[in-house]
């Protein structure tokens, strides 16, 4: 089974949803840089204050800061049994830093799972997205409703709309994806690590397909 995994794809492709399913099914550590930043913002730490100024506008948090938090997390003991990197790397500088780090800590990347999705659908998903304030589980107001409106199925926490899920910030985020992150697909393709999945099939089918693939190797 492939266990050291990078999840890639544009905002709204379903990385977070898939990561939460894979984490439970295969006992992997979920490392979401977006979640880590949102926790720091909630706790009002210096990192949170810095991150917020970028995230609110849809910009990327600077590489040195982002690489630092991933380095700390990935070096921890619990990542020895496998990890899912969700939302990292997003730039070539981050990808190169991860390569070095992976060698240093003897945790080589096994596979890059890329989720394909067209832009129209991304906009539909993100504009209807609601997220649990406590545990980060994502929902959609039409297609992935919680059982009770406004309440998280997993933990009972309140659902809210992320402040960066507005039209203006989303345009900036898609711009960064196309300009900074998409080139990484060629980078990982050249290393023979890239596998593409169509995320339009829906979250259950996508989970089955990716799970089967990871287990088959
Ligand atoms: P999504 O994939 O829906 O855009 P994330 O939760 O992964 O959302 O990230 C939210 C925001 O956090 C990003 O728009 C960016 O500002 C910041 N961020 C997350 N990961 C990174 C990263 N690897 N490098 C720089 N900024 C990041
Ligand atoms: Zn919750």
Query: Each residue of 138-184: pLDDT tens digit?
Result: 999 999 999 999 999 999 999 999 999 998 999 999 999 999 999 99
Pick from 41, 60, 85 the residue to mutate for probing ligand 1's pocket: most ligand atoms within 8 Å of its CB: 60
128 pLDDT above the threshold of 90: yes
Q: Which fold has domain 4-118+166-216?
A: Rossmann fold (3.40.50)
**Residue 130 annotated as catalytic:** no
Residue 101's SS3 state is helix
Cα–Cα distance measured from residue 159 to residue 147, given in angstroms and rounded to the nearest whole number: 12
Position 129 scores a pLDDT of 94
Cα–Cα distance measured from residue 139 to residue 137, given in angstroms and rounded to the nearest whole number: 7
202 pLDDT above the threshold of 90: no
Q: Which two tokens stand for residue 212?
A: 């089967």
Cα–Cα distance measured from residue 151 to residue 166, given in angstroms and rounded to the nearest whole number: 21
Residue nearest to atom 3 of ligand 1 (CA): 11
Cα–Cα distance measured from residue 114 to residue 209, given in angstroms and rounded to the nearest whole number: 12
The mean pLDDT value for 60-64 works out to 98
- Percentage of residues of the chain with pLDDT beyond 70: 100
**Residue 107 annotated as catalytic:** no
Per-domain residue ranges of the chain? 4-118+166-216, 129-164
* Mean pLDDT score of the chain: 95
Question: What is the distance in A from the centroid of ligand 2 to the CA of 159?
Answer: 8
Band (217; pLDDT cuts 50, 70, 90): confident
Band (67; pLDDT cuts 50, 70, 90): very high
């Amino acid at each position: 089974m492939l266990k050291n995994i990078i999840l890639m794809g544009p905002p709204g492709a379903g990385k977070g949803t898939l990561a939460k399913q894979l984490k439970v099914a295969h006992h992997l550590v979920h490392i979401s840089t977006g979640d880590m930043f949102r926790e720091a913002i909630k706790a009002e730490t210096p990192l949170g204050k810095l991150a917020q100024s970028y995230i609110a506008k849809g910009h990327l948090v600077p590489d040195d800061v982002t690489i630092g938090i991933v380095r700390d997390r990935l070096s921890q003991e619990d990542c020895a049994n496998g990890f899912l990197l969700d939302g990292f790397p997003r730039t070539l500088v981050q990808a190169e830093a991860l390569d070095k780090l992976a060698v240093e800590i003897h945790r080589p990347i096994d596979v890059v799972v890329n989720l394909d999705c067209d832009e129209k659908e991304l906009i539909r998903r993100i504009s209807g997205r609601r997220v649990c304030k406590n545990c980060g589980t994502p929902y959609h107001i039409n297609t992935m409703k919680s059982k009770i409106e406004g309440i998280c199925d997993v933990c009972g926490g309140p659902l809210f709309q992320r402040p960066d899920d507005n039209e203006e910030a989303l345009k900036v985020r898609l711009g960064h994806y196309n300009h900074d992150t998409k080139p990484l697909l060629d980078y990982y393709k050249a290393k023979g690590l890239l596998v593409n999945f169509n995320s339009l099939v829906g979250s259950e089918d996508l989970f089955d397909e990716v799970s089967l693939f990871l287990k088959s190797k």
